[in-house]
Amino acid sequence: MRVTVIGGGSWGTAFSVVLRDHGHDVTLACRSTEQALEIDATGRNPRYLSHVDLTGVAATTIEQAPVEHANLAVVAVPSAAFAATVAALPGICPILSLTKGLDPATGDRLSTLVADRPVAVLSGPNIAEEISRGLPAAAVIAGEDHALSVQLQLAITSPTFRVYVNDDVAGVELCAAAKNVIALAAGGADGLGLGDNAKAALVARGLAEMARFAEAAGAKPETFAGLAGMGDLIVTCWSKSGRNRRCGELVAQGATPEEAAAEIGMVVEGLTTAPVLRELSHRLEVEMPITEGVCTVLDGVPLGDLVATLMQRVPTSE
């Protein structure tokens, strides 16, 4: 297939390699002309995963991306830029979204912002740096068009990247958004040195919180036991490369959220998603104490106070 990957960050770069190694004709569309020219000249992305050999991947800017002539557009931009990005894409080729988050302006799932063409979403425990090195990983593709999901599954699955199909689009997207918020809290536990017991309990209760919210939003609770839910949550909360976990760790050690994001040097989706998720939970009247707590910390409440509040909640059944 002729595939245009929109977004020259870590995940867009790693996924371009997955597609290239599968034999597809891949163009990586970057935000800046300088980044695109450097990739074309050296076969390396100067800003992200610079160790990865991108030979065979063409590079251009997002404005000049050859989407009109593509068989597939893969969108790997931050959630805050997703709506404007897909609205500007020419042609009618299907979209595969790699973006994990919600639309900050409306709280909508990102796939619902695509109105003029078929769309599917890919999610799972996919640390870009590991995938770029050819380490084995798995993911799930979800979409309303089952035939498209199966087509993409066959076009992407390889000996090192196994893809499953799921028909619960809402569940997969909500997993991808909510797990980043829980990862901020897990990073906070790391930063405070609370130990493995506390972190495991936090992640387990976070998964329950995610599933409760998703069911109220019309998703299938069982999706949260799969790759998009438990799988992605585990890797995001434990990986040293997880930027949301790292952000929570830095905040626990005294940095402001803005300082933490600046040190990480990449978009920390949980910072954008947390207040949006809290607002949605209020609308749906779903209790999400960890998400609420993350938002209070981002608003300036000391993390130690949040831990005490969570531990002193009224005992209940699991």
The CA distances from residue 15 to 31, 142, 204, in Å, are 17, 17, 29
Hey, how many other C-beta atoms are within 10 angstroms of the C-beta on 280? 22
Rg (CA), the chain: 19
Hey, how many other C-beta atoms are within 10 angstroms of the C-beta on 265? 10
* Paired strand residues for 26: 3
140 close to 164: Cβ distance less than 8 angstroms: yes
According to DSSP, residue 17 is labeled H
The residue type at 199: K
Residue 240 among the catalytic residues: no
Q: Which residues of 114-128 are buried (b: 16+ CB within 10 A; e: fewer)?
A: beeebbbbbbbbbbb
Residue in 213, 182, 219, 203 with CA at minimum distance from that of residue 279? 213
CA–CA dist 279, 21 (Å, integer): 41
Residue in 106, 132, 137, 125 with CA at minimum distance from that of residue 175? 125
HSE-CB of 165 using CA atoms within 13 angstroms: 15
Which residue is catalytic, options 100, 179, 199, 240? Answer: 179
Residue corresponding to tokens 């997002």: 62
Residue in 54, 72, 67, 44 with CA at minimum distance from that of residue 155? 72
CA–CA dist 228, 223 (Å, integer): 7
State the catalytic residues.
179
